[in-house]
Chains A and B, each alone.
Chain A
Amino acid sequence: MVKKLFRKRSINVCIVNTGGCNGCDIEIVSCLSARYDIEQYGIYVHNNPKEADVLLVTGPVTLQWAERLKEIYEKTPEPKIVVAVGACALSGGIFKEGHVVGGVHKVIPVDAKIPGCPPRPSEIIEAILKVAPKALAMREEKLKEQLKEKNIGQNEKLKNRI
């Protein structure tokens, strides 16, 4: 609803480092520089999961992070999408044998994956722009339908009571 009226083109991104080596993080940070200028596409990077539309998850999910990541995913408002950045987030990568869960998809549902160790800033921007608008619009419609069904159900309940 809000997304359709006045935040049509804005995408708020939250970086979640679940135990990576920082390589993907600094590539996301260098997207802010004037050469790539991520804000010209309407993407705003900050680390607040409660306002975010897109969760950029980097790194293999360590054992300490498994519960926390679920909590953060639940706290993010709908509609939301998750993008896994880097080889570690895809499958556990080089740390597969270590103290990690291995892959973000084992903990929360993932919408898009960007391979590379680390992926270039241009690839990250491209992936977000390709996935985010469509996925967010689809989620929005689904939510609306759910709300309608809920409302109908509630109305019938009210009628029955009367």
Chain B
Amino acid sequence: MKKTFSIGGVHPDDRKISAGCAIEVLPTPKTVYISMAQHLGGPAKAVVAAGDKVKTGQVIGEPTGFISAFVHSPVTGTVKSVGLRKDLAGIPVVHVEIETEPDEWMEGIDTSDTLVTEIPSDPKFILDRIKANGVVGLGGATFPTAVKLCPPPDKKADILILNGAECEPYLTSDYRIMIEKSSQIVIGAALMKKVLGVGRVVIGIEDNKPEAITSMKAAVAGLAAGSPDYSGIEVVTLKKKYPQGGEKQLIDAITGRQVKSMGLPIDVGAVVQNVATSLAVYDAVQKNKPLIDNTITVTGECFPKQSNLLVRVGTPLSSIVDWLGGVPESAAKAISGGPMMGKAIANLDAATLKGTSSILFLTEEQTRRKPETNCIRCGKCAEACPMGLEPFLLNKLARNGMMEELEQNAVQDCIECGCCLYSCPAYIPLLDTIRMAKGEVIKIIRSRSAQKK
């Protein structure tokens, strides 16, 4: 029997309509805007000023604090300004504006297509390159990868899981790289395996992507035949179910271990990285190439041209969309990410980030929420919740501001996957109220543990 996570989940229609589109390279735009807040943790500090000449791959932002990351110039050109600019949600963030010229790469970056399969023997070298080249998790949270690969000394990982589930409808960027860059992903996995010192790597892919499974299996077999560095890597087929790509769900599906409430994957000996992150690790370590571009799916039934594009970080969304023919008349909502967990884009002039995985256009018909009606106590939300929570109850408690009861009923465990609202026949905005209550409860928990210390 194919593996999947043990509690809840839903089966939204796939709609991977851009799956057949090979990755194209988007021409570098005239101007790029690179955000200094591309990752979880402290925003980077800009180290260039207006008028500076920069080369492709040059550091333009330095990390502030332990959880932070380097930011590099994705282009060659002249810095026009360093200042506040609106991000996807319309919130002002420090961006570096660069007017582009033809590429001139920083020295030491290997821009050839040659596959480098030899794994460096020194884990510290690998880790330094991952850190210096600004690699962050590309599965959504953009957590700095180097930090995630250095678990605290009292905790030991025994398995590295590569997330190739791509369980959100519409998204196909991970699917495309698993087909087109499978060897690089496997090499990235072997590099991280070396850093973590684990013996086992599992690449989890859902069964709706047979071509990706075939191509990844072939890449693993090919590399394992050549070097012992690639032993212990396997591809596991997962039964399609959303949210399989959720970190806790994926660990449960593959190892049967459940991360405790408020715990981290490392508590059960697991580290999870996205396949796109693994590709970025390959580039960073084997090619010394910083994370300055990524694959983005541009899709939606109402969008005229489905595509998977290799885009430089900092490209304005509007220039991507215009290159493909412009925003369709019938589009009512643009989403960065998938339709279940992605964020609605308020500002199409915003620039892409390292972690941008897609631009999805939905029509009003596809995205409209009907008015809320009475709860009919069908229990479909509880059936769907992958964390085993009772959304109907949490919703009621949240509306009455009952913080203690919310905590007792584990609102803090909510992963905001949206399964409850997706399946509610009464269209009750369950996740909206639960998300707000979760924020409040986590604040209370934090202040309590801070007092204890």
* A and B are interacting partners: no
